[in-house]
Amino acid sequence: METDSYPKRLVLIGGGFGNIQLIKRLKNYSSFQITLIDKHNYHTFQPLLYQVASGGLGSDAVAYPYRKIFRNYKNFNFRLAEVQEIDTEKNMLLTNIGPVEYDELVIGTGSETNFYGMENMAKWAMELKSIPQALDLRSNILQEFEEAINTVNMGERKAYLNFVVVGAGPTGVETAGALAEFKKHVLPFDYPELDHNLMQVHLVEAGSRLMPAMSEIASAKTKEFLEELGVKVWLNTAVKDFDGKAITFGDGTALETRTVLWSAGVKGSLISGIKEDAILRKSRYLVDETNKVKGYDNIYAIGDVAAMVTDKTPNGHPGVAQVAIQQGDRLGKNMIARMLGRKQNPFQYNDLGSMATIGRNRAVVDLPFIKFQGRIAWLAWMFIHLMTLVSFRNRVIVFVNWMWNYFTYERSIRLIIRPFTTKTKD
Ligand SMILES: Cc1cc2nc3c(=O)[nH]c(=O)nc-3n(C[C@H](O)[C@H](O)[C@H](O)COP(=O)(O)OP(=O)(O)OC[C@H]3O[C@@H](n4cnc5c(N)ncnc54)[C@H](O)[C@@H]3O)c2cc1C
């Protein structure tokens, strides 16, 4: 039940873009005693994970510890824990470190990979949602090169050097582009005993165009850029199965490969305890225009895990960082307004546009008032991503790495660090 007495115990699950912005908005308001719970002790800048996976950046460039971000906040606590259940009757979370009580709760758990029930794919394909997964993918790619050298069987060697990316949204496109640049600028020099022409990067998309959320011109340019880099683009191609050795397509044909990156679907990271009628298609929490979860007075959801269904957004907002940031910001302003007895305002998404990079000097940008591609788009992409990183340290590291990579054509962080025998589940 909502209490209008202050201070409130405000518990936030997940330190993604949404909750980070909410905490910033509530900085030092003693009326809100904030506890952030996350299963990692750092915030992850997901848009640059593909650069970690392809050896262009180290993991510390895209992550930053929560305790450091909020060290000067007087109303902030952090708990490293995984939330397993929400007991909405008792206003309590069940976590792996014990129960945590709340007066108000904000769920900002983001999203996870959706394999649409394809069990083999879930077992064998790689994912790219977290730093452990990005490091695992990097190690996997490098290990395949080493395996390819060790086999004299040409069929097997080709299979090790076939890299398949499924799903042509930003993650798929950017990873495919990065792999193609790896083939061009690293493979011939680091692995002279391998014929680098044997390495093939395949980007497979069930729909009729790449980057379906962007404009037609951005899709067409993305395809052109990828093909210039040597990526084999498969449109209108459904994937049926992957058994760890070969990927099978809807028409029954198969391609031998050891590495498939599945970036073809996501669903909200739900936590049990919320009533079913407050969940849209088993995937996201239904929220009203103040991000309050349907049927609850003191539970909010923001970002990827929230679906604000309106006439304008029948499927909710897109799962992008700007939505999460703006929802966190609006929720923070509304919480302060409510505390002061002022009017709360509904959330309104200000779409700033979208962009993706395909490789050096190749990017596509769709802004509300202009669309452009190529080198200028690439510079704009770099600038925006640098500015959005959470700390000054991250910005410096990323900038220095990018300069180094630009002038040397290198992807220097080619380390196989893999304490796991199988792919990482996070
Ligand atoms: C590879 C990749 C590339 C992307 N590129 C772009 C891009 O170019 N532009 C763009 O706008 N968007 C991009 N996105 C999407 C963007 O990152 C998300 O929309 C955004 O991160 C959503 O923010 P959020 O606050 O909802 O949650 P997230 O940032 O996903 O954070 C969720 C947090 O919740 C924590 N968590 C989850 N479950 C639990 C639990 N049970 N207990 C405790 N903690 C939990 C996680 O550890 C995580 O820290 C990309 C995403 C990925 C994966």
| pLDDT for the residue numbered 418 | 82
State yes or no: cis peptide before 7, omega within 30 of 0. yes
Task: Judge whether 350 lies within some domain.
Answer: no
Is the predicted pLDDT of residue 423 greater than 60, yes or no? no
Residues 137 and 240 in one domain: yes
| Count of domains forming the chain | 2
Ligand 1 atom at shortest distance from the alpha carbon of 269: 38
The residue out of 304, 339, 374 marking a domain boundary is 339
Distance CA 339, CA 327 (A): 18
Residues 186 and 213 in one domain: yes
The finding on whether 91 has its CB within 6 A of some atom of ligand 1 is: no
Residues 256 and 374 in one domain: yes
| pLDDT for the residue numbered 89 | 98
- CA-proximal residue: ligand 1, atom 7 (nearest): 47
The finding on whether 110 has its CB within 6 A of some atom of ligand 1 is: yes
- CA-proximal residue: ligand 1, atom 53 (nearest): 129
Task: Judge whether 203 lies within some domain.
Answer: yes
Give the structural domain span for 35: 8-39+81-113+267-339
Task: Judge whether 24 lies within some domain.
Answer: yes
Q: Whole-prediction pTM value?
A: 0.95
Residues 210 and 172 in one domain: yes
Place of tokens 């909405």: 88
Task: Judge whether 21 lies within some domain.
Answer: yes
* 426 confidence band (pLDDT: 50, 70, 90): low
Distance 150 CA to ligand 1 centre (A): 38
**CATH, residue 85:** 3.50.50.60
Mutate to test the pocket of ligand 1, among 11, 106, 320, 365 (most ligand atoms within 8 A of CB): 320
The finding on whether 55 has its CB within 6 A of some atom of ligand 1 is: no
Residue 366 and residue 213 in contact, taking contact as beta carbons nearer than 8 Å: no
Mean pLDDT of 376-403: 93
Choosing from 127, 174, 181, 205, which is the catalytic residue?
174
- CA-proximal residue: ligand 1, atom 8 (nearest): 47
Residues 233 and 181 in one domain: yes
Task: Judge whether 286 lies within some domain.
Answer: yes
| pLDDT for the residue numbered 422 | 56
Residues 235 and 381 in one domain: yes
Angle CA(256)–CA(259)–CA(263) in degrees, nearest 5? 115
Is the predicted pLDDT of residue 2 greater than 90, yes or no? no
For 130, the token pair is: 């977290």
Residue 293 and residue 285 in contact, taking contact as beta carbons nearer than 8 Å: yes
Task: Judge whether 352 lies within some domain.
Answer: no
What SS3 state is found at 294?
Answer: coil
Residues 103 and 126 in one domain: no
| pLDDT for the residue numbered 421 | 57
Residues 250 and 140 in one domain: yes
Distance 155 CA to ligand 1 centre (A): 39
**CATH, residue 223:** 3.50.50.100
Answer with the residue of higher pLDDT: 423 or 224. 224
Residues 204 and 133 in one domain: yes
Task: Judge whether 420 lies within some domain.
Answer: no
* 3 confidence band (pLDDT: 50, 70, 90): very low
Residues 210 and 282 in one domain: no
Mutate to test the pocket of ligand 1, among 36, 40, 109 (most ligand atoms within 8 A of CB): 109
Task: Judge whether 345 lies within some domain.
Answer: no
Residue 97 and residue 81 in contact, taking contact as beta carbons nearer than 8 Å: yes
Is the predicted pLDDT of residue 407 greater than 90, yes or no? no
Q: Which helix (H) or strand (E) holds 158?
A: helix 154-160
Tens of pLDDT, residue by residue over 40-70, are 999 999 999 999 999 999 999 999 999 999 9
- CA-proximal residue: ligand 1, atom 50 (nearest): 47
Is 174 labeled as catalytic in the residue annotation? yes
Q: Give backbone dihedrals phi and psi of 152, rounded to 5 degrees, phi first.
A: -95, -10
Residues 327 and 381 in one domain: no
The finding on whether 52 has its CB within 6 A of some atom of ligand 1 is: no
Mutate to test the pocket of ligand 1, among 43, 46, 323 (most ligand atoms within 8 A of CB): 46
Tens of pLDDT, residue by residue over 173-197, are 999 999 999 999 989 999 999 999 9
Ligand 1 atom at shortest distance from the alpha carbon of 306: 26
* 161 confidence band (pLDDT: 50, 70, 90): very high
Say which amino acid occupies 6: Y
Residues 23 and 107 in one domain: yes
Distance 2 CA to ligand 1 centre (A): 28
The finding on whether 213 has its CB within 6 A of some atom of ligand 1 is: no
Tens of pLDDT, residue by residue over 275-334, are 999 999 999 999 999 999 999 999 999 999 999 999 999 999 999 999 999 999 999 999
Distance 324 CA to ligand 1 centre (A): 9
